[in-house]
Amino acid sequence: MRRVIGVTGGIASGKSNVCSVIASLGYPVIDCDKLSRELSVKGGSVYNAMVTVLGTDYLLEDGNLDRKKIAKLIFNDAKARALVDSATHPVIIDEVKKRINDIEDGLVFLEAPLLYEVNINYLCDKVICVFLSKKFQVARLMERDGIDEDYALAKIHSQMDLYMKKELADYVIDSKGTFDETNQQVLGIIEDIKGV
């Protein structure tokens, strides 16, 4: 029997670290951001959806998407973000469903930053929220992306509040500690899920 476990959280909250631990244990992880990037290559379904709603102003000279320019737009303009989301999310969700259906048995993990925002939590039997307080989240994001505090906050505020996600989830991993401490939380949760 297949069971789908959602892994969500905020931007720079530590989801990728958690999912790398899960993958290292041999579990399949479907990464929505990675899927989006795969489908965003020139001629891909997300690429085509982006060009349809944004036109060619957001392409590089070689015809590929100008990711930095698009990011600036969607993190600073809620209407533009809604337009892009309405065009791209259905395409990504269709691919997620296909990949889930390709796995017949065991635990499969779905790494989805916008799990609740795009209402795909119904695909999951259980949900893990990777939590980090806003202060740490801002600091990590500024360091990771080399951006200022205002842009970091704009990115964070484009998603559902992390405290709300924490309340909605079945399990919470607090990622403010060391990688080892996070790792131990992951192992404990997987054992609990397997025991249910």
Domain identity same for 109 and 142:
yes
For residue 53, what pLDDT is reported? 94
- Six-digit token pair at 59? 């392409």
- Read off the CATH number of the domain in which 8 is found: 3.40.50.300
Confidence band of 95 (pLDDT split at 50, 70, 90): very high
| Mean pLDDT value of segment 39-61 | 95
Contact call for residues 34 and 146 (beta carbons, < 8 A): no
Whole domain around residue 136: which residue ranges?
A: 2-28+103-195
Q: Residue 196: pLDDT above 80? A: no
- Nearest residue to 185 (alpha-carbon basis) of 131, 143, 124, 138: 131
CA dist 13 and 130 (Å) reads: 6
Q: Residue 112: pLDDT above 90? A: yes
What domain count does the chain have? 2
Q: Residue 158: pLDDT above 90? A: no
Q: Residue 126: pLDDT above 80? A: yes
Residues contacting 39, CB < 8 A, separation 6+: 45, 46, 47, 91, 92, 95
**Full-model pTM:** 0.90
